[in-house]
Each structure stands twice: as C-alpha cells, then as structure tokens.
Chain A
Amino acid sequence: MSARTRELFALIPAALLLTAGFAAIFLSRGDLIGGLNGTNEVSDVSLTYGGIFLGVCVAAHLVLRVALPDADPYLFPLVALLASFGLVEIYRIDAELARQQAQWFVIGVGVMATTIVVLRDHGKLERYRYTIALAGIGLLMLPRLFEPTNGAYLAIKVGSISIQPAEFAKIAIVVFLASYLRDTRQVLVLGARRFAGITFPPLKHFGPLLLVWGTAMLLLFFIRDIGSSVMFFGAFLAMVYIATDRLSFVVIGLLLFFGGAYLVAGHIGHIADRIDAWQTPFDPEIFNPDRAGGSYQLAQGLYSQADGGLLGKGFGGAVLELPKGQCGEGASLCTLLPAPHTDFIYAVIVNELGLIGASGLLCVYLLVVQRGFKIAMLARDSFSKLLAAGLTTVFALQVFVIVGGVTKVIPLTGVTLPFVSYGGSSILANFVLLALLLLVSNRARREA
C-alpha cells in the first residue's frame, strides 16, 4: 500500500470521531425529537458534519497525492484527528464558534495546500532568511500598537478579526535559525573554547545568533508574552543543541534565560501575579474572580479537571456557565470557567472525556511530535533536519506550555492548544507548519 493510500484510510477514523462526537453532543442535549418522530435527525446531522469534514480532508489528501507523493502518510491524518477533537469540543461550548472554527479549518487546509504548491521546495526559504527573520520580528512588534489583553500585547485587530502574529513569527524564527545554524554549526563547534571546564561557543559566530534571538526575546518581554518566549527559547536551545551536539551550550542558555526571567518577572506586574496565582491558586484572596491577575481561572480549570475524573462527564457534561439568576448581584463573571474554548480547552476536554480522553489527546500530540522528529532524522541535509526538528520542538513546546499551565506544572500563560483551541491565527500558522514538515518529509523519503 502506498504512503498516500495509507493516509487516505487513516483519515476515516478522524471523520468517524467527529461524527460520533457530534452524535454524542446531540444526545446529551436531548435533541432526540427528530429520532422520536422517525426522521432521525441526530444521525443525519452528525453524518452530514462527518461527511463534510471527510470531504475537506480528502480534497487536501488529493493535493498531497499530486504534489508530495512521498510525504509522511500519518502527519495529516493525525492533525485531522486533533482538529476533529477541537471542533467537537468547541461545538459543545458554542455552536457559532464551531462554525467559525470549521471555516478556519477549511481555510487552513487551503493555506497548507497553497504553501505546498507555491513553495514546492523548502530550500528556497534559505535564500530569504534575513527577510524572514525581520518579518518575524516585525510581526512580534505589531501588537504593541494595539490595546493589550490581560496585560499582554498578543493580538492585532483588523476590523472584526483579531490576529495573533506570534503564531506566525514562531515559524519565521525557526526558519531563520535553521538556515543560520546550517551555515555556522561547524564553526560553532570548532571555534568553541573551554573555560573553567565549560565549553563556550565562539562569540564571532554565535554573536549574530544571539543578536537575532535576543531581539526576539526582548520583544517578547516588550509585548509581555511569556508563553511564546518560553516556546521560542526552548526551540532555539533545541536547535543549537541538535546543530552542535554540545550540551554545555544548552546549560549556558538555560542559565541566561532563568537569570533574565528572574529579573524581568519582578518588573512586570502581571508576570509576578501569574506566579503568585500558580503557587497558591486556592488562596481565597488570590482566587477572587474580580482580582486582576488572580487565580480564578486556573483554580476553576483544576476543579473542572477533578470533576472529570478518570472517565469524564461525557460531551456536554461539564458545567461551564452559571445559570441565569445564579451570578449574584454585581458579579463580573457569569462564566464558571473563563476562556473554555481557547486557553482552557484542555480543562474542558479533561472534564468531559476524563483522564483517559486527555491522555489519548496527548498521545496524538506525541505521535505528531514523533513523526516530526522522524522526518528530521530521515532528512539528508542539515537545513532540512534543523527545520523539521525546530518546527517540531516549537509545536511540542506549545502543547507543553498550555497544558502544563492548565495542569499547574508551570505558571499559566496563554497560548493555544494547536489545532484544538479556537482561533484562526493558530489554525493557519499550524497548517503552514504542517506544510513545511510535509515538504521536508517528501524530499527526505524520496531520497531515502
């Protein structure tokens, strides 16, 4: 069976999950009227949704069949599985949001196809590396011109659409780093000096790298988005490590990062608040819903995970909102769990599908990550290896930052759960990321 045929068959489970998921939601809402009247609306509607979803996926598959016949067959079906997970969960939260998300999914698949068809060869990206680096930094800077949300400059608003440029900037920075490290990895290793038992990279070649990365980091603190900065920095370290195989570089980098973070955390109010909230989320004073930078959201996220337990409450089983008349006079919040469709979608998933369902979701992510690193290992040239590994690391770190934040492993910072959270920027950027991984894998497997 060819790679593409395997891909086609692997898409079926994703479509089935979507169908079953919608059916479960209709059932839990008690929309059984159709069924009782003999028209069986439940299965009809969920089958329609499943069918449309499968149709979009098959169309994307056909593009891949023509353009990238040798690309990894599992990546796209895994992503489709994640997207169907997200669509069902968002639909359960708000039908209108799910409609928009479905739109973004279709556009995202289109962007992926366009990227593949237009780019054809990811090697071309190397030619524009400084342009790409500048574009990435520019993207990060843009939100500073707009109003901050929750103390961070995350989004730019064009009309009614809000765009999160950091989602795209992460790809630009990884492309630049991959290209630059390809050129300098040898000198970085050969020119390194040992001092006091630690190997230091040569400043001459490491300099520009530090400069670009440093600018990106400064900007991230400038826009106060600590979640993205952790992602960027982690990917940077992983790529330097893969390029040079020198653990000491990673150690130096980590020390620099924590030193910097320590200095910055004290000066940016909302970061210090986040750390307090992280340490004692159930403290009544910090828990106060009206307190800016309080722990209300984190604590409610933990409560809803506990509510889910091992098996979950089932689709529609999570309590997300207070009923009318239960909000209390003058209460600023009528939602029990704020941001259930974006930052806290993981908590909702745990609430409804339990530890079992959430572990399944994390396994799907881990499989995507495994395919990504596998592509990096198969690739022949350094640029492809670094690009694939870098993109995969950014992807894995994004999952870690948000899920770790929601489960109180690390302080909470708002990034999206790739392909699952609601949000156009996130979907589009991650489909571009997927397109690049598929391009790398097509060449790698063809040559192999």
Chain B
Amino acid sequence: MNKPITRVFIVSMMMFALLVGATSWWTVVDADSLNHDRPEQNRRALLRGLKIKRGVIRDADGKVIARSVKRSDGVYTRRYPQGDLFGHPIGYSYASLGQTGVEAFYDEDLRGEQSDSESLLGELTGREQGGDNLQTTIDPTAQAQAEQLIAAASPEQGGSAVALDPQTGAVKVMASVPGYDPNDLRQTGALDRFNKDDTRRPLVNRALQFGYAPGSTMKVVTLAAALDSGKFDLDTPVDGTNNVPISGVPLKNDFNESLGSVDLVTALAKSVNTAFAQVAVDLGKGTMKKYMDRFGFNKKPQLDYPKNAMSASGEYRAKKQGGPLGLFPPTSTFADIGRVGIGQDKLLVTPLQMAQVAATIANKGVLMKPHIGARLVDRDGRTTRTIEPEVQSEVISESAAADVTEAMVAVVERGTGGAAQIPGVQVAGKTGTAETTLGPGAKNKLWFIAFAPASDPEVAIAVTVDDVVGFGGDVVAPIAKQLIQTLLNEKKTP
C-alpha cells in the first residue's frame, strides 16, 4: 500500500506548489495592477495615507498653500490656509474624496512613498513616515490679482488667466473663476453640491479643461507658420478686402472694414480676418497642422498635472446631441482651415495653450515644458528633486519669432491692443474676440495674449473672460497689463 500513499503525497505536494504559485501571482506578478488599477475598489493606499503626514505645498513666496494637521483621533487631514486662492490649480486631497490637481500629480512625493528597507529603518529609528514638501512656481500676488480682476470683469461666467515664465516654462499664474475653497469640501455633500452647480461650475479648472474659441489670438499661430515656412515675410502684401469667400462662405472683417492690400504687420495690428484666413488657406492644412502640433495643439499639455483633468486644444466635433466632443485633426475634410487660421471654425482651446503660444514667441521660437512644481524638499530642508526647465518643442526659427514679435508689438502700439501699453515697458500682444451671441449688445468670449518686455521677455500671459459685451482689447488687455506689471515688479524685488 506504500506506493499509492507515496503518489497521494506527491499529488499533495503539487497542490501545495499550486497554492504557492497562486500566492506569487497575486503578491508579485499581478500586484502592481491590483494595487493601482481600481482605486474605487481598493482603497488601501488612500486609507494608509490618513496616517501619513503629507508634505506641505508652498507658493513662490514660501507661504503655505496646503498642509496636513493631525486630528484628535490621530488621523491626518488636509488644510488649505489660503482658501479659494489656489483651489485651482493645487486641487485637494481627502481620503473620502480622492485627489485632484497638483495634489494628485505629486501624490507619491507628498506621501513619501517608501521602499521596504526605508520603512523598516523608519520603524527602528521611530521616524514617522512623511512626505516631501513641494515648492511651486505660482506667484500669490499675481494669482490673487488675476482672480479679482476676472471676477470683476465677468462675475457670472468668469474666465481664466495663465502666466508663464517663457524661458523656463514655470507657471506664475493659473487662475480660474469662479473657483472654490478646498476647505469647504470637508462638509458632507459639498463636493456633490459643487458638482451639480451647472451655471458656475466652480470645480472646473478653466485654464486647462474648458474649451474656448480662441478668436483672433489664433492669428499669431497662423503668422508664425507663415513666416517660419518661408512662404511669407512681414512685407508680403496680403488681401484685406471684406467678404472674401472662405470655403464657399463669405468672411467678414470687424465693422465690415475693407482694407485692400496690406502687409502682415498691419494685418495683425488691425486683426484683419480675411487676410489671415487667406494666408491659412495658402499655407494649407498640412502646414497649419504641423505648426499647431509644434505649439502643442491636438495633444494634452505636458504640464505636471493629472492628464485626465486636462483637455487638448484643437478642432472638436460634437459627436451627438449632448454626446462627448471628438477631437479631429485640422487636416480632416471637416476642417475649414481658413477659419481655423483666425480662431473660428470648430476650434476650442485652453488658456494654457494660448499662454504657451505667447511664451513660444517670447522665448525665440522655443516652447518650454510648462510646470507648476519648482522643487521637492525633504523634512530636513534638503532639496530632493528640482524640476528643471525642459524644451517641449522647437516651434519656429529665432528670426521668425523676432518678426512675429515685431507684429505683436505693433498690435499694442498702434493696433487693437492699445490698452495693454505700459510706460517704459514694450509689450507684445494680440487681442481676440469670439462671438458667442449675435445682435446688438452681443456677448463675447474675450482674449488677450501677451509677453513683455518685448526685447527680453520675462512674462508670457493669456487672459480670457467669458460672456462680456465688448472687445478683447477693451476689457481683457487692461487685466493682462496689470498682471504683467505685477509680475515684472515681483521679479525686480524678489
């Protein structure tokens, strides 16, 4: 009988081996997917986070934006001492609600993700796990000013402003109005209430998520493409007559003004629609797409921010009534490239994208990767990681950028952007006005993009305000001007 007993034992051993194999599968092979793929089912990481003192987030002046405090029951919770000032873009982090914005993007650093040996060492030395502190690039003075000015200009629909350091890609201002105070979300049901507020939509970061028609600010992209492609130079005469048919439909200029033959500088300064639409048609869909791609259109931004909370800028088709919007390339047969070239057609862009357009021209044609994080500092004050400036793409040549700058300076000095003039500082800019309603007293989406000082730019900015009567040059250019002044002053007196 011993032979069958041996065989039964061998079968038992095989079964136990199967158990070890299955355990290895869940603990090692498939562990990563189980630990990360379904946070709504597997809340271990979030719950563990309650016991960790999350790192502090600071603004460019070193003031605290977010910090963790220990509650009486020993659990940490997040506090945002500056209230609604940084609701966008910093976001929030609560175990019951999850995380958004910068809190989500830098989660692992702020939590202080530890290796097994580190946590063992921590256990032995009694050192509590804690995350690194995050220093951001956001200028609190300009951020506050931006929110106030936009709220004053459009109390109902609000708007957004993004300011960048063109040489490094550092985000100086990212304002989205109406905003929210992340501290309010600790009240039960508050998140739900904010989510259901369809008129104000306070939780939407308009700088990154909202698609706005860019209006004439898009002409900067068209001009850059025209000059860099070599097909045009600043003196090339273009046709500025009114009512030129574009894709079979006549296109109007502002006030139905017919300018005849103009050079490109005048065309930009006076924001002549027909001239730039014909330039775009002349360049063709392929060339327009090539330059749009280089500027960062048609793809999600490379910002240090959760990808699912950012929209790509580009042509969007409404798929079905009420259905999701579909991004499609400007080379598609559905694209009316002439109108894309002047910021109409089905173009929807984010303020960040338009700030990047200005920053590219400012930085001699080179687009820097945008970033909100400046550096991570551990609890002993040592810098553990610096977010270094990185080139995102080389968009146009330095000489083409100088030419575009010249045209943009003309916009401010003798064109539609006069309200952005700053005594002693040369500002380069471009206005934009996208019609949302027609008729007398029509409401528009207003834009202004700019950089300054034109010779050696330190600030690039995009401001947009929604649903306001008037033109970009009248309402938004003064906001951009004040923000530029604040940021340039801050730079002088650090």
- On whether A306 and B30 interact (CB within 8 A), knowing A407-B22, A407-B23, the answer reads yes
Q: Do B30 and A396 have beta carbons less than 8 Å apart? A: no
* A370 in the interface (beta carbon within 8 A): yes
Chain B proximity of A307: nearest CB distance (Å): 5
Q: Choose among B8, B41, B42, B43 the residue that contacts A242 (Cβ–Cβ < 8 A).
A: B8
Q: Which residues from A are CB-within-8-Å of B42?
A: 300, 303, 306
Establish whether residues A385 and B5, one from each chain, have CB atoms under 8 Å apart when the complex forms. yes
Nearest Cβ in chain A — how far from B39, in angstroms?
Answer: 11
Complex interface: stretch among B10-18, B101-109, B200-208, B447-455: B10-18
- Secondary structure at chain B's binding surface: helix, strand, loop or mixed? helix
Which chain A residue shows the least CB distance to B124? Answer: A27
Q: Which residue of A lies closest to B117 (CB)?
A: A311
Query: Which residues of A sit under 8 angstroms from B73, Cβ to Cβ?
Result: 323-324
Does residue A93 face the partner (Cβ distance < 8 Å to B)?
A: no
Within 8 Å CB of A308, what residues of B? 27
User: For A306, what are the chain B residues with a Cβ–Cβ distance below 8 Å?
Assistant: 26-27, 30-31, 34-35, 42
| Across-interface contacts of B126 in A (CB, < 8 A) | 32
| B15 CB, min distance to chain A CBs, angstroms | 5
Q: Which interface residue of B13, B42, B126 has the most chain A CB atoms within 10 A? A: B42
Residues of B contacting A303 in the complex (Cβ-Cβ under 8 angstroms): 34-35, 41-42, 44
Instruction: Decide yes or no whether A365 CB sits under 8 A from chain B.
Output: yes
8 A Cβ contacts from B1-49 to A: 1-9, 12-13, 15-16, 18-20, 22-28, 30-31, 34-35, 38, 41-44, 47-48
Q: Given that A242-B8, A245-B4, A322-B47 are contacting pairs, would A409 and B27 also be in contact in the complex, using a CB cutoff of 8 Å?
A: no
Answer yes or no: A112 CB below 8 A from chain B CBs. no
Q: Which of A27, A314, A336 contacts B44 (CB 8 A)?
A: A336
Inter-chain CA distance A302–B42, complex, in Å, is 10
CA distance A282 to B8 in the complex (A): 35
Q: State the CA gap A130–B244 with chains docked (Å).
A: 105
CA distance A355 to B30 in the complex (A): 13
Q: Is the interface of A mostly helix, strand, loop or mixed?
A: helix
Q: How far is the CA of A41 from the CA of B15 in the complex (A)?
A: 43
Contact B38–A309 (Cβ < 8 Å):
no
A332 to chain B, nearest CB (A): 16
Residues of B in contact with A, size category: 35 or more
Interface members, chain A 288-306 (any B CB < 8 Å)? 299-300, 302-306
Task: Check B277 for interface membership: any CB of A closer than 8 A.
Answer: no
Residues of B within 8 A of A254 (CB): none
Whole-angstrom distance between the Cβ of A133 and the nearest chain B Cβ? 22
Give chain B residues whose Cβ lies under 8 Å from the Cβ of A369: 9, 12, 16
Contact of A314 among B13, B48, B123 (CB under 8 A): B123
**Alpha-carbon distance between A369 and B35 when the two chains are bound, in angstroms:** 34
Complex: A302 Cα to B3 Cα, angstroms: 38
B16 touches A362 (CB 8 A): yes
Q: In whole angstroms, how far apart are the Cα atoms of A61 and B108 in the complex?
A: 52
Question: Is B8 a contact partner of A309 (Cβ separation < 8 A)?
Answer: no
Residue A445, interface by CB 8 Å:
no
The residue that B5 contacts in the complex, of A325, A389, A403, with Cβ under 8 A, is A389
Shortest Cβ distance from residue B427 to the other chain A in the assembled complex, whole angstroms: 52
From B6, B19, B26, give the contact of A302 (CB < 8 A): B26
Please report the C-alpha to C-alpha distance between residue A358 and residue B50 in the assembled complex, in whole angstroms: 28
Within A1-58, the residues touching B (CB, 8 Å) are 27-28, 32
CA distance A98 to B240 in the complex (A): 88
Bound complex: CA of A409 vs CA of B26, how far in Å?
11
Whether a CB of chain A sits under 8 angstroms from the CB of B321 is no
A302 to B41, CA, bound (A): 11
Which of B2, B5, B18, B47 contacts A409, CB < 8 Å? B18
A366, B4: Cβ atoms closer than 8 Å: no
Instruction: Kindly provide the distance from the CB of A85 to the nearest chain B CB, expressed in whole angstroms.
Output: 15
Q: Could you say which of A287, A302, A370 has the most chain B C-beta atoms within 10 Å of its C-beta?
A: A302
A366 with B16: CB separation less than 8 A: yes
A355-B24, A366-B16, A409-B19 known; A242+B44 contact, CB < 8 A = no
CA distance A282 to B13 in the complex (A): 30
Judging by beta carbons under 8 Å apart, are A404 and B18 in contact? yes
Nearest A residue (CB) for B95: A326
Q: Is A175 an interface residue (CB 8 A)?
A: no
A400 to B13, CA, bound (A): 11
Within the complex, the shortest CB–CB distance from B117 to chain A, in Å, comes to: 9
In the bound complex, what is the Cα–Cα distance between A407 and B6 (angstroms)? Answer: 27
Contact in complex: B12, A396 (CB < 8 Å): yes
Given contacts A28-B123, A303-B42, A366-B13, 17 further A-B contacts (CB under 8 A): A32-B126, A241-B4, A245-B3, A302-B34, A306-B26, A306-B34, A310-B27, A355-B24, A355-B27, A362-B19, A362-B23, A376-B5, A400-B15, A400-B19, A407-B22, A409-B18, A409-B22
A-B contact list, 19 entries, CB within 8 Å: A242-B5, A299-B41, A302-B26, A303-B35, A303-B44, A306-B42, A307-B35, A309-B28, A322-B43, A326-B95, A355-B28, A359-B23, A362-B16, A366-B16, A369-B16, A377-B2, A393-B8, A404-B19, A408-B26
